Amino acid sequence: MLRACTIHKGQCSPFPSIPKVAALRAGDYWQAALLATPLRNKGASRWCELWGNQSIFSGTKLRKAAYTKGTEASGLQGSVRCTSLAEVERVEGIPYTSGMAPKGGKKAAPSQMRKMLPMSILEEHVLRWDADEASRKHAFPSLSFADATKRETALEGGATGRHGAAFVPRCKEKNDMQITEMEFPLGTSFYGGGEVSGPLERSGTRIFAWNTDAWGYGRATSSLYQSHPWVLVLLPDGTALGVLADTTRKCELDLREQGLLRFSASAPYPLITFGPYPSPDKVVAALARATGFPFLPSRWALGYHQCRFSYETADRVKEVAATFREKQIPCDVIWMDIDYMDKFRCFTFDKLNFADPKQLAADLHEQGFRAVWMIDPGISATPGYFAYDSGAQQDAWILKKDGKPFIGDVWPGPCAFPDFTIERVRQWWAGLIADYAAEGVDGIWNDMNEPAVFKVINKTMPDSNVHRGDPGLGGRQAHTHYHNVYGMLMARSTFEGLQQARPDQRPFVLTRANYIGGHRYAATWTGDNLANWEHLHFSIPMVLNLGLSGQPFSGPDIGGFVGDSNPRLYGRWMGIGALLPFARGHSETGTIDHEPWSFGAECEAVCRAAILRRYRLLPHLYTLFHRAHTQGLPVASPLFFADPADPTLRGVEDCFLLGPLLVAASTDPASPADRSRLTLPKGAWRSFDFADFHPDLPLLLLRGGGIVPAGRAIQHTAESTPDDPLTLIVSLDENGAAEGLLFEDENEGYAYRSGGYLLTTYEAVSTSGQVTVRVQKTEGSRARPRRKLAVRLLLEDGVEVTGDGWDGEPVAVALPSPQQLQAMVAAQQNQRKTAVAGPLSEAGEDEPVKGAGTTKTIVEMASGAWLLRVAPWAGGRIVSLVHAGSGRELLAGTLDKGGYEEYTGTEYRSPGCTEPYRITAREVEQLDGEDAVGLEADVGGGLALTRRIAVPRGMPDVVQINSAIEARSIGAGSGGFSRLVCLRAHPSFKLANPANAVISFKSVRGDDVELTAEFGEATLRGDDRPNGVWTLSNSETGLAIANHFEIDQVAICFVHWEATSVNLELWSQERPVSAESPIQLSHYYSIKEISK
pLDDT digits (tens, 9 = 90+) for 676-712: 899 999 999 999 999 999 999 999 999 999 999 999 9
447 as an active site residue: the answer is: yes
For residues 1053-1090, one letter each, b for 16 or more C-beta atoms within 10 angstroms of the residue's C-beta and e for the rest, the string is: bbbbbeeebbbbbbbbebbbbbeeebbbbebbbbbeee
- pLDDT of amino acid 896: 87
- pLDDT of amino acid 854: 53
For the chain, how big is the Rg over CA atoms in Å?
31
Highest mean pLDDT among 27-36, 93-102, 198-207: 198-207
Q: Where would I find the H helices in 695-741?
A: none
Q: What's 81's DSSP letter?
A: E
**With 70 as the cut, is the pLDDT of residue 1057 above it?**
yes
Segments of 278-332 assigned E as strands: 305-306
Give the mean model confidence (pLDDT) for residues 612-628.
Answer: 98
- Which candidate, 727, 658, 739, 662, places its Cα nearest to that of 691? 727
Between residues 21 and 602, the one the model is more confident about: 602
Beta bridge partners of 741: 761
> What's the chain's length in residues?
1092
Q: Cα–Cα distance between 931 and 871 in angstroms, integer?
A: 16
- pLDDT of amino acid 953: 77
DSSP string across 1016-1039: -EEEEEGGGSBSSEEEEEETTTTE
| pLDDT grade for 302, boundaries at 50, 70 and 90 | very high
Give the mean model confidence (pLDDT) for residues 234-249.
Answer: 98
Give the mean model confidence (pLDDT) for residues 329-333.
Answer: 98
Q: Cα–Cα distance between 698 and 689 in angstroms, integer?
A: 10
Q: Cα–Cα distance between 817 and 798 in angstroms, integer?
A: 16
- pLDDT of amino acid 842: 78
- Which candidate, 1070, 874, 969, 988, places its Cα nearest to that of 221? 1070
- pLDDT of amino acid 112: 85
- Which candidate, 911, 899, 919, places its Cα nearest to that of 851? 919
- pLDDT of amino acid 839: 85
- Which candidate, 1062, 1012, 1007, places its Cα nearest to that of 7? 1012
- Which candidate, 729, 765, 755, 731, places its Cα nearest to that of 620? 729
Residue range 960-986, pLDDT digits in tens: 999 999 998 887 777 888 889 999 999
**With 60 as the cut, is the pLDDT of residue 20 above it?**
no
From 64-78, 288-302, 500-514, 740-754, the region with the lowest mean pLDDT: 64-78
| pLDDT grade for 62, boundaries at 50, 70 and 90 | very low
- pLDDT of amino acid 708: 98
- Cis check for the bond before 23: say yes or no (omega within 30 of 0): yes
CB 524 within 8 A of CB 554: yes
Residue 540 three-state SS: helix
Name the catalytic one among 281, 528, 907, 938. 528
Q: Cα–Cα distance between 715 and 1064 in angstroms, integer?
A: 60
**With 50 as the cut, is the pLDDT of residue 582 above it?**
yes
Q: Cα–Cα distance between 151 and 222 in angstroms, integer?
A: 29
- pLDDT of amino acid 76: 25
What percentage of the chain carries pLDDT values higher than 70?
87
| pLDDT grade for 634, boundaries at 50, 70 and 90 | very high
504 as an active site residue: the answer is: no
From 88-97, 272-281, 880-889, the region with the lowest mean pLDDT: 88-97
Residue range 991-1029, pLDDT digits in tens: 989 999 999 999 999 999 999 998 788 999 999 999 999
| pLDDT grade for 638, boundaries at 50, 70 and 90 | very high
Q: What is the mean pLDDT of the chain?
A: 87
- pLDDT of amino acid 72: 32
What percentage of the chain carries pLDDT values higher than 90?
76
CB 577 within 8 A of CB 225: no
CB 1004 within 8 A of CB 1046: no
**With 80 as the cut, is the pLDDT of residue 519 above it?**
yes
- Which candidate, 799, 787, 646, 651, places its Cα nearest to that of 723? 787
CB 254 within 8 A of CB 264: yes
- pLDDT of amino acid 836: 61
Name the strand (E) or helix (H) holding 923.
Answer: strand 918-925
Give the mean model confidence (pLDDT) for residues 37-50.
Answer: 26
1048 as an active site residue: the answer is: no
Q: Cα–Cα distance between 555 and 493 in angstroms, integer?
A: 23
**With 60 as the cut, is the pLDDT of residue 103 above it?**
no
Residue range 344-382, pLDDT digits in tens: 999 999 999 999 999 999 999 999 999 999 999 999 999
Q: Which long-range contacts (CB under 8 A, 24 or more apart) does 596-602 make?
A: 596/327, 596/329, 597/323, 597/327, 597/329, 598/570, 599/565, 599/566, 599/567, 599/570, 599/571, 599/840, 600/567, 600/841, 602/567, 602/837, 602/840
**With 60 as the cut, is the pLDDT of residue 58 above it?**
no
**With 70 as the cut, is the pLDDT of residue 82 above it?**
no
**With 90 as the cut, is the pLDDT of residue 827 above it?**
no
Strand order in the sheet with 699-703: 655-658, 661-664, 699-703, 685-688
CB 281 within 8 A of CB 637: yes
- pLDDT of amino acid 95: 27
Give the mean model confidence (pLDDT) for residues 800-818.
Answer: 96
Name the catalytic one among 246, 450, 557, 604. 450
**With 50 as the cut, is the pLDDT of residue 14 above it?**
no
Q: Cα–Cα distance between 96 and 129 in angstroms, integer?
A: 28
Residue range 901-959, pLDDT digits in tens: 999 999 888 999 999 999 998 876 544 557 899 999 999 888 999 999 998 877 888 99
- pLDDT of amino acid 314: 97
**With 50 as the cut, is the pLDDT of residue 55 above it?**
no
Give the mean model confidence (pLDDT) for residues 596-601.
Answer: 97
- pLDDT of amino acid 87: 27
- Which candidate, 377, 406, 601, places its Cα nearest to that of 485? 377
Query: Exposed, middle or buried, 1010 (CB in 10 Å: 0-12/13-18/19+)?
Result: middle
In the chain the domains, ranked by start, together with CATH numbers, are: 114-291 (2.60.40.1760), 859-1089 (2.70.98.10)
- Which candidate, 601, 600, 596, places its Cα nearest to that of 584? 596
- pLDDT of amino acid 834: 65
- pLDDT of amino acid 71: 31
Name the catalytic one among 213, 281, 337, 447. 447
Q: Cα–Cα distance between 592 and 1003 in angstroms, integer?
A: 52
**With 90 as the cut, is the pLDDT of residue 392 above it?**
yes
CB 1009 within 8 A of CB 1027: no
CB 532 within 8 A of CB 569: yes
